Amino acid sequence: MSRTPMVITATVLLAAALTGWAVFLSGQGLENADRWVTVVGFFVTTILAAGSFAAGWSASRPPAPRQPASADRVTDSGTAHAGEGGRASTGIETCGDGRTAEVNRSGDATARGPGSVANTGVSRQPRT
């Protein structure tokens, strides 16, 4: 059921309930109607207060810690080449976030020149 029919249904039911309540109270006389409104008002106020408390309590709790993905995986990677100062990786380069890493049948990685790096396995970098 989409949202619009649900809103219309809820509005019609609320209007019917309020109309029924007004008809009921009009047949009770002034003194009995006052008692009914007091009792029902107490319960409505109690329910709304409990709901407000529950919403505030759940909003004040810290969020649950994020669960890292189960694993980073590389399988059957190709070949990588790096020139001067570059990085060639056929494996995984990751920061230390606690996730497991798995490399199977990685390809060749070659690095030529000063400052270049080659990786065919798992390379964990510090977080920045």
pTM greater than 0.85: no
Domain extent, residue 18, equals: 3-60
Dihedral over alpha carbons 92, 94, 99, 105 (to 10 degrees): 10
> What is the total count of domains within the chain?
2
* 50 in the same domain as 8: yes
User: How far apart are the C-alpha atoms of 118 and 88, rounded to whole Å?
Assistant: 5
Dihedral over alpha carbons 21, 24, 26, 30 (to 10 degrees): -100
Q: Are 118 and 101 in contact (CB under 8 A)?
A: no
- Kindly report, residue by residue over 52-109, the tens digit of the pLDDT: 999 998 888 888 777 655 777 788 888 888 888 888 888 877 776 667 778 888 888 8
Give the residue-averaged pLDDT of 101-128: 81
Q: Is residue 65 part of a domain?
A: no
What is the CB neighbour count within 10 angstroms for residue 94?
Answer: 14
Whole-number pLDDT of residue 68:
59
Indicate the residue type of 88. A
Q: Is residue 18 part of a domain?
A: yes
Q: Is residue 91 part of a domain?
A: yes
